[in-house]
Structure 1
Amino acid sequence: MRLRPAPSTLARTAVLASAVALIACAGQAIAAPAPDNSALSATPFALDARRAPSGAKFDSGMQGFSVESADFAHGYLTKDLLAERLKTLGPHGVLRLGGYSMDLVWPAFGSAADAPAPAQAIGGTVDQTDLDSLKHLLDSTGWKVTLGVPLKSLIDPAKLKNPAKDPAPQVTMDQVVGEVKAAHATLGDDLLSVEVGNEYDNVTTLTPAEMWSTVKHYQAEIDAALPHAHLKMTGPSANTALTNSVINGFADAALADGPDAPRRTLAEMASHLYAGSHCGTSTATMAQLMSPDTYLKARTKLQGIKAVGARLHHTVPMTLNESNSASCSGQPGVSDAYGSSLWALDHLLETAQNDVSRLLFHTNTAAICGDFKPRDSADYPISYRYYGAFCAADQTQLDAHQLSASPLYYGLWTFRQLPKGHFVDLGLPDDALGNLRAYGIEDEHGKLHVVLINVQDPAATDATDDTVSMKLPRGMHTARATTLVSSAPGGLSSLDAGAITLGGAKMTPAGTADRTPQSTPVQVGPGTSTITVAPGSAQIISISR
């Protein structure tokens, strides 16, 4: 049960707020001091970790990145540029090559191997040298890849919603099959699947049943060329709508072909989900990103995806193969701010807890921080994105493959510290979500790992510590905590990624940590422990028997 702050807390909050307002009104050329939250009483919460693990499995290897096909076409998926950044996140992960530019690249394969790219191919040209570089990257990291192929130019033009918007080069099925053959020959088992189109429901009028038929047609063409490869497909990669009507319709069409049809055709059923939007006149705020409403909307979406997986009898993995804080390149001041690290950690755990098998964050791969290009620029598909996981301070650093970690990357790195296991329900009520997010994982050795995230903004005058009293299983008596925190005064909106640490460790521009994250002891009493989590921080508490 959540308890209200003591009256003295509210009084001190009001006094502090009045003082800040007085400074602002005085018109003096001095800055208001950062809020002193140390004077505020903590908000208490009670959790119970004694429940048996639930059916939801946990594997931190579920995370990865979605990158634009244009990044691939421009030769950015290289060992020198990305290997250390991927290995730091673990030996297992997935790269998805796709995004909006999936229909804007020119596959130089098949009969088009030596043909010049048409003017519409603003995403660049993919050829064998790109596949060779990708092979070196995958061999170095242990990661795998899904390959996106064009859709718009291979369907009836009457089915396009807006043919004049970013007209696609006229790619043929011969080119698609040629690229897949070359990818399979080069990558082998590291090629997980072939994805057909990106958010088809945004750019075409194809029904879910028609999209299912299209995916089957692509697979048949690929099977004819590679009869022994048994490559499967990714679909439908529907848009970011909070409803699941598209994947439900897609599942209906697949099941209409027989109960085994989805498993024979699909390596995964993919959806997209963004917490907010920066498309058109839409804007996202930090308060919205961290709000209970955003969390609950995501949970509804994820539970719907989980239900579709159940309808398929769990024979096809359900994935979010494109996700992030705000669509359309992210929201400046939000997607690139410290709060996105806490949100990313929370989003990964919430997604895993709802039985979704994989979550890929859309990112740039080679960009200078802040070097954003407008949508009508030819450089748009490969320009800086505010929600990117890493970027270079300047051209010199980019040329030297020195990419600084963004707040988003720190969230993924924190998530990677967790071991395989099963989720334990801690009993956190929904009315606590404005202050706290909490997850429990029991690993394969019976050790309990609890993740506590205080989502309050430390720059706010009414932010409080979260004091979490947790009942523990019998025999657990030793605990240590690893903390994700920023020392910057801007709170969740701080843009200083260099102020973020995980267990005192930071990421270097070389893509590695400057030290191993350190943990500190946590006091454990008979059957209980009380943990204090500061505003705008997260803790992983590992408790042993």
Structure 2
Amino acid sequence: MREIVGRRGTGGIVRRSLSAVGLATALATACAVAAPTASADPTAITLTPKVAPDLGAVTGENLGFSVESADLAHGFLTKPRMSQWLKTLGRHGVLRLGGYSMDLVWPAFGDYRDAPTPPEAIGGRVDRSDLVRLKALLRDSGWKATLGVPLKKIIDPSKIKNPTKDPSPPVTLDQAVAEVKAAHEILGDDLLAVEVGNEYDNVTTLTPAEYYATMKKYHAAIKQAVPHANIKVTGPSANTAKTNTQLDGFVSAVQADTGSDPRQMIAEFTNHLYPQSHCGSSNATIAGLLSPSTYVTDRNKLTGIMDITGRLNSGIPAVINESNSASCSGQPGVSDAYATSLWSLDYLLQTAQSRVSQLQFHTNTAAVCGDFQPRDSEDYPISYRYYGAFCAADRHALDSNRLSATPLYYGLWAFHQVPEGRFLDVGLSDTALSQLRAYAVENRNGGLTMVLINIQDPAASTGDDDVTVNLPSAYRRGQAVTLRTSASDGLASLDASAIRLGGRTISDRGVPSGRPDATPVRVSGGRSTVTVAPGTAQIITFSAR
């Protein structure tokens, strides 16, 4: 039986057939995978979901945001409007407070609470009132936070790569520790950990071993100031390179420190990853963002993270605590396009499947859409980012606390529709990645959710994906929620108002217009066939009743 869901039309479309076979435990044999061809004939691809103990899970805690320390200092993050935008994505997310402005903010705590703010603090001034407002946000949303503390002014000055570039205010270690102490007093258990510096390898010449020694120094100072709080630190938060050289060196330093137990000090192994770049003369593209090579490169990066941190056998989780589509604030026409709806859904699933515990998308929290500020602007630390999850249509909307969901946000909202459970290996061949991304999650309630993403451009003459799921006999019905755009320019569309998830949208207050509608998917004889149109994603949950 075939259900056509999310299809825009048939003009110029070549139909391709992809078959997804159900749980291996319910099947006697596994079929071979056939590679797609360039011909107009139907292409059959058979997938065999099966239990794989090395895969991760959808936990309800896979998603978070990374925001600039400057957003906290300027009060943008903690405005009451932000809570609903977080709650719409779940009640167990994490806000990482840090980013580039981690070294550009003045912590007014301890002996420095009444000190004048130095001119180098272009990221603003943080004091107890900011933490009180942060506590209100966390309490209302259910989210928690990690706190970033500055690094550059606390280490040997000779270790700074470029002292004249964005010089940091003269923060001391005692001052940073005083901020941590205040954060613990105000936030309590909502403070998960303290991050030591941002991309130390970009701004310093510290080796991984030297960075680890610096982290230990911070942890010791925090422990002395707040002896019974058990506040742990995170790192190394190295740059966005596609390799894991810095993490490898850091873990090697931890291994060599046989006199310490990393579980008593390190809360998370933190990593950064941007699949593309808009830094310098680099440019990102939609084709590159959704390409098989990007998918495979990210997969290798994620696998490497788990392999390296696994050497310690410590159980300390690994997270991507800063990421998005392209570094250096994103690429206009790419990072703000509909393509990121599909990409972010796919990327979250890929990351969760890899066993990396959480993926935190870097975002602005208060900016007018498109109002990007150059790096030499005093407003740069709080500027609009092309990859942001939300922005205001204009200054009046911003002043009225009305934000607009960007295409990226719709992908995150789609991920929130996937029930918790463990991933199954669907056996999708890399040769099919130019057409389809596919995931299967065995739900805790016994259901089976498949996420099928046709990454082909609906604005081009590309093909539908006919996906046949062979199901164990216990599954008798299915429900599909579709992510799609009605915009004629397809993946390149910048019109977020044309995006629908199950026919629903997000209001300018962050409230869904309703629960996404699900379309019945027929199951007959242990089989169900669904057509996934180009530029759409299907979240299909099969159940016994």
Correspondence for 1:40: 13
What are the superposed Cα offsets for residues 442-472 of structure 1, whole Å, 9 maximum, x if unpaired? 11111000000000011112x1100112222
| Larger relative contact order, structure 1 or 2 (CA cutoff 8 Å, min sep 6) | 2
Correspondence for 1:481: 480
- The 5-angstrom pairing of residues 381-420 of structure 1 reads 381-420=381-420
What residue identity is the alignment partner of 2:486? S
Is 1:499 the equivalent of 2:498?
yes
Correspondence for 1:53: 51
How far apart, CA to CA, are the structure 1 residues paired with 2:350 and 2:309? 17
Contact 1:69 1:105 in 2 (8 A): yes
What are the superposed Cα offsets for residues 109-161 of structure 1, whole Å, 9 maximum, x if unpaired? 11111011111110000011110110000000110000000000000111111
What residue identity is the alignment partner of 2:18? F
How far apart, CA to CA, are the structure 1 residues paired with 2:384 and 2:254? 38
Give the superposition deviation at 1:39: 4.3
Unaligned runs of 5+ in 2: 1-7, 25-49
Contact 1:77 1:133 in 2 (8 A): no
Give the superposition deviation at 1:54: 2.6
Give the superposition deviation at 1:260: 6.1
SS at match of 1:153: coil
Give the superposition deviation at 1:60: 3.4
Correspondence for 2:27: none
Correspondence for 1:24: none
Correspondence for 2:522: 523
How far apart, CA to CA, are the structure 2 residues paired with 1:200 and 1:520? 49
The 1:260/1:533 distance shift into structure 2, 3 A limit, reads farther
Contact 2:391 2:406 in 1 (8 A): yes
What residue identity is the alignment partner of 1:68? E
Percentage of identical aligned residues:
59
Moved over 3 A (4+): 35-39
Is 1:281 the equivalent of 2:292?
no
What residue identity is the alignment partner of 2:423? F
How far apart, CA to CA, are the structure 1 residues paired with 2:472 and 2:430? 23
Give the superposition deviation at 1:323: 0.4
Is 1:102 the equivalent of 2:102?
yes
How far apart, CA to CA, are the structure 1 residues paired with 2:114 and 2:206? 32
Contact 1:472 1:527 in 2 (8 A): yes
Contact 2:262 2:314 in 1 (8 A): no
Unaligned runs of 5+ in 1: 1-34
Correspondence for 2:4: none
Correspondence for 1:3: none
What residue identity is the alignment partner of 2:242? L
Give the superposition deviation at 1:473: 2.2
How far apart, CA to CA, are the structure 1 residues paired with 2:382 and 2:440? 38
- Structure 1 vs Structure 2 CA RMSD: 1.2
What are the superposed Cα offsets for residues 206-242 of structure 1, whole Å, 9 maximum, x if unpaired? 0000000000100000000000001000100011101
How far apart, CA to CA, are the structure 2 residues paired with 1:373 and 1:90? 31
How far apart, CA to CA, are the structure 2 residues paired with 1:446 and 1:506? 29
Correspondence for 2:122: 122
Give the superposition deviation at 1:40: 2.2
How far apart, CA to CA, are the structure 1 residues paired with 2:374 and 2:79? 29
Give the superposition deviation at 1:284: 0.3
Q: Which protein is richer in helix relative to its size?
A: 1
What are the superposed Cα offsets for residues 267-326 of structure 1, whole Å, 9 maximum, x if unpaired? 000000001000011000001011101100000000000102321215210000000000
Correspondence for 1:438: 438
Correspondence for 2:510: 511
How far apart, CA to CA, are the structure 2 residues paired with 1:486 and 1:145? 33
How far apart, CA to CA, are the structure 1 residues paired with 2:191 and 2:480? 38
Give the superposition deviation at 1:78: 1.8
How far apart, CA to CA, are the structure 2 residues paired with 1:369 and 1:41? 37
Contact 2:23 2:51 in 1 (8 A): no
Contact 2:263 2:314 in 1 (8 A): no
Contact 1:443 1:449 in 2 (8 A): yes
What residue identity is the alignment partner of 1:447? G
Give the superposition deviation at 1:38: 3.7
What residue identity is the alignment partner of 1:54? A
Give the superposition deviation at 1:77: 2.0
Contact 1:37 1:458 in 2 (8 A): no
What residue identity is the alignment partner of 2:263? R
What residue identity is the alignment partner of 2:96? R
Correspondence for 1:17: none
Correspondence for 2:325: 325
Is 1:182 the equivalent of 2:216?
no
Give the superposition deviation at 1:261: 2.2
What are the superposed Cα offsets for residues 175-217 of structure 1, whole Å, 9 maximum, x if unpaired? 1011001000000000000000000001111000000000010
How far apart, CA to CA, are the structure 1 residues paired with 2:467 and 2:259? 47
Count of matched residue pairs: 510
How far apart, CA to CA, are the structure 2 residues paired with 1:365 and 1:251? 33
> Structure 1 stretch 78-87 or stretch 265-274: which is displaced more?
78-87
SS at match of 1:370: coil
SS at match of 1:217: helix
Correspondence for 1:159: 159
Correspondence for 2:234: 234
SS at match of 1:524: coil
How far apart, CA to CA, are the structure 2 residues paired with 1:310 and 1:122? 39
What residue identity is the alignment partner of 1:420? E
What are the superposed Cα offsets for residues 491-531 of structure 1, whole Å, 9 maximum, x if unpaired? 00000000001000000001100111010011212122111
- The 5-angstrom pairing of residues 155-234 of structure 1 reads 155-234=155-234
Contact 1:60 1:418 in 2 (8 A): no
The 1:44/1:77 distance shift into structure 2, 3 A limit, reads same
Contact 1:292 1:434 in 2 (8 A): yes
What are the superposed Cα offsets for residues 152-174 of structure 1, whole Å, 9 maximum, x if unpaired? 00001111111111111110011
SS at match of 2:241: coil
SS at match of 2:434: coil
Correspondence for 2:42: none
TM-score, normalised with respect to structure 2: 0.92
What residue identity is the alignment partner of 2:20? L
